[in-house]
């Protein structure tokens, strides 16, 4: 076991964990933030997506020891009350079905518009294609992202 001080959603959390423990385990089981979901555990589905310094990463496959001084943002810290433009678009377009994959979808979409505020449709598809949704909400996801990125800035 080792001790880590991790910045999660703007707060420092001191945790004890094995160095190869995935960040997802730390978030859910040690810190108690359950909004980030476990899907495949093999970096294949995107359900566990969080931000590391504003970039989308798969927390099931990122060892806690690799976080270092990085800033982690989870769905709980994306906005105070769901006012992030992506969250609002998700609501407007009634994107979720069962909802299980949607944390990861939202976090990936939020990282996309942060690095590229006006992506093309192709760029949206490329960025989002690794986030799987068994309910098939892909068309609504795309429409919601376009509604945000096509707005005049």
Binding site for ligand FES (CB under 6 A): 38-41, 43-48, 58, 60, 96-102, 133-135, 137
Distance CA 13, CA 28 (A): 13
Element (H, E) at 153: none
CB of 152 to ligand FES, least distance (A): 30
DSSP label of 63: B
Give the nearer residue to ligand FES in terms of CB position, either 50 or 113.
Answer: 50
Give min distance, CB of 39 to ligand FES, in A: 4
Residues 6+ apart with CB under 8 A from 45: 39, 101, 104, 131, 132
- Least gap, CB of 118 to ligand FES (angstroms): 26
Q: Which is nearer to ligand FES, 6 or 95 (CB)?
A: 95
Min. distance of Cβ 153 from ligand FES in angstroms?
29
Of the pair 41, 117, the CB lying nearest ligand FES is at: 41
Nearest to 73 by CA among 18, 129, 17, 114: 114
Beta carbons within 8 Å of 81's beta carbon, 6+ residues apart = none
Cβ atoms of 49 and 57 within 8 Å: the answer is yes
Least spacing, CB of residue 37 vs ligand FES, in Å: 7
- Cβ proximity to ligand FES: between 15 and 40 the closer is 40
* Complex with ligand FES: residue 56 or 148, whichever CB lies closer: 56
- The answer to whether 142 and 90 are in contact (CB under 8 A) is no
């Amino acid at each position: 076991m080792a001790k880590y001080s991790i910045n999660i959603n703007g707060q420092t959390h001191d945790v004890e964990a094995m160095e190869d423990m995935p960040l997802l385990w730390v978030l859910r089981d040690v810190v108690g933030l359950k909004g980030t979901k476990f899907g495949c555990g093999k970096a294949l589905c995107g359900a566990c997506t969080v931000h590391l310094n504003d970039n989308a990463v798969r927390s099931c496959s990122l060892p806690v020891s690799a976080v270092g001084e990085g800033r982690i943002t989870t769905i709980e810290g994306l906005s105070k009350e769901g006012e992030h433009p992506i969250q609002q678009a998700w609501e407007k377009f009634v994107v979720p079905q069962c909802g299980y994959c949607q944390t990861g979808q939202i976090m990936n979409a939020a990282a996309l518009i942060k690095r590229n505020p006006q992506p093309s449709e192709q760029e949206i598809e490329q960025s989002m294609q690794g986030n799987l949704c068994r309910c098939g909400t892909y068309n609504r996801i795309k429409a919601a992202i376009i509604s945000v990125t096509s707005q005049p800035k």
